[in-house]
C-alpha cells in the first residue's frame, strides 16, 4: 500500500481536539446514541436565525406537493421515522422562533421502478441568509478520508469474506 502512496495520516492538534470533543459528547440513552456536532466556533456564532426563510420554503414545498398530489406520500415517509425515533417533534413557543436555526427540507422524488423509497426528504443545510455562513460551512469538516477509502477498497478486494449491510432511508 505504501507503493500506492497510502500512509498513516498525521492529525493536527486542532483535529485531535475536535475529534476528542466529539467523542466526549457521545451519549447512549434510551437505547439510542446522541452526539453533538463539532462546530467551528468562529463561524457558528455568525449564523442567524432563518425562521422566515425556512417557513417560506416549507410553504412553497407544501403547495408543490399538494399540486402534484404527493403531499400525503411525503408525510408517510416521516411518520415511521418519527415512530422509530429517527426524527422527533419539538415544541418552540412562537416568541422564541427567531432564537433557533431551522433546517428546511425538500422532497426528492424517484420514479425508477427499482427504487424502494419513491419520495424522501433531503435536509437543506447549505441554506444561507444574506452573506452569513450556512450550517454546512460552520461544521468541522474533519480529516481527509479519501486515503482511508482507498485503503478500505483495497482491503475489501484482498479478503475472502465480506459483510455488507443496507442502511435506513433516513441516512
Per-residue pLDDT, 21: 92
Going by pLDDT thresholds of 50, 70 and 90, the confidence category of residue 58 is very high
Is residue 160 one of the residues assigned to a domain? yes
The answer to whether residues 54 and 114 belong to one domain is yes
Q: Kindly tell me if the per-residue pLDDT of 151 is higher than 90.
A: no
Per-residue pLDDT, 52: 93
How many folded domains does the chain comprise?
Answer: 2
The answer to whether residues 121 and 144 belong to one domain is no
Burial class of residue 159 (count of CB atoms within 10 Å of its CB; 0-12, 13-18, 19+): exposed
The answer to whether residues 66 and 133 belong to one domain is yes
C-alpha span between 133 and 40 (Å, rounded):
11
C-alpha span between 11 and 6 (Å, rounded):
15
Tell me if 136 sits within 8 A of 147, measured CB to CB: no
Per-residue pLDDT, 62: 94
Is residue 5 one of the residues assigned to a domain? no
The answer to whether residues 84 and 111 belong to one domain is yes
Range of 89's domain? Answer: 48-139
Q: For the whole model, what pTM was predicted?
A: 0.70
The answer to whether residues 103 and 147 belong to one domain is no
C-alpha span between 102 and 144 (Å, rounded):
28
Per-residue pLDDT, 28: 94
The answer to whether residues 135 and 146 belong to one domain is no
The answer to whether residues 56 and 123 belong to one domain is yes
Going by pLDDT thresholds of 50, 70 and 90, the confidence category of residue 63 is very high
Q: Please tell me whether residue 6 adopts helix, strand or coil conformation.
A: coil
pLDDT in tens, 93-113: 999 999 999 999 999 988 888
The answer to whether residues 54 and 98 belong to one domain is yes
The answer to whether residues 134 and 146 belong to one domain is no
Amino acid at each position: 500500500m505504501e507503493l500506492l502512496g497510502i500512509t498513516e495520516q498525521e492529525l493536527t492538534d486542532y483535529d485531535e481536539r475536535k475529534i476528542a470533543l466529539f467523542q466526549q459528547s457521545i451519549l447512549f440513552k434510551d437505547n439510542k446514541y446522541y452526539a453533538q456536532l463539532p462546530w467551528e466556533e468562529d463561524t457558528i456564532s455568525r449564523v442567524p436565525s432563518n425562521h422566515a426563510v425556512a417557513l417560506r420554503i416549507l410553504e412553497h414545498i407544501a403547495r408543490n406537493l399538494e399540486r402534484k398530489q404527493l403531499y400525503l406520500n411525503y408525510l408517510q415517509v416521516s411518520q415511521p421515522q418519527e415512530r422509530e425515533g429517527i426524527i422527533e417533534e419539538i415544541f418552540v413557543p412562537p416568541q422564541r422562533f427567531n432564537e433557533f436555526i431551522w433546517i428546511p427540507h425538500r422532497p426528492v422524488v424517484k420514479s425508477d421502478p427499482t427504487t424502494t423509497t419513491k419520495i424522501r426528504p433531503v435536509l437543506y443545510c447549505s441554506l444561507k441568509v444574506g452573506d452569513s455562513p450556512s450550517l454546512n460551512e460552520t461544521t468541522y469538516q474533519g480529516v481527509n478520508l479519501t486515503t482511508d477509502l482507498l485503503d478500505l477498497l483495497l482491503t475489501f478486494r484482498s479478503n475472502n469474506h465480506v459483510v455488507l449491510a443496507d442502511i435506513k432511508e433516513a441516512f
